[in-house]
Amino acid sequence: MTGHNNGCGNYMTLIAQLDTVDGSIDWINGARNFNVSGGINVESYRGHAIFQDGTNYVVAGDGYGGSSSRGTVIKFDSTGDTVWTSYASVESLKDVIKASDGNYYATGNSNPFSISTNAAFVKISAAGVVGLTTHISPTGTDWSYGYSIAE
C-alpha cells in the first residue's frame, strides 16, 4: 500500500507490505526525504499509486524539492529500501505502469506555463531515467488531468 503521513506540516511517503492472510504489517517505510538524480532533494513526498514489479514496488506521486513541486517515481525493493528515485518536470504523478517494452509510463498533471493545468505523460527507463515528458491539453481547454494509464 502507499499514501502519505503528515508530520509537522511535511508529508512523508507511506509504503507498507501487509500479510494477506491476517492483515499484519510485514514492514513499513515512512521516509520523508529522497535524494533524486541531479542532486535535488525531494521533501514532503506523497505516494498516489503503487504496483508490484517482481519483488520490487514502484510508487508514483509528488513531492516538493528544489524550488517547485515534482512528479516523482520511486522504486523500492522487497524490504522497503529505495532502489532509485526519479522526477519529471510535472507537478504530480497519479498512476504508473510497467509496459511490455520494459519501461515505466506515468500520468498526472503539470503546469508548464503557470496559467493552466495540463495532463502529463512520462516515460521512465528500467534504470529510473526520465526519457520523455509530454504535456497534453486539447485545444480550447484550460484544465486537463491524467489519473490512470494502461498499455
Q: What is the pLDDT of residues 28-61, one digit of tens each?
A: 666 544 544 444 455 556 777 888 899 898 988 8
CB 93 within 8 A of CB 148: no
> How far apart, in whole angstroms, are the C-alpha atoms of residue 28 and residue 52?
15
List the grid coordinates of 133: 515528458
To the question of pTM greater than 0.85 for the whole model, the response is no
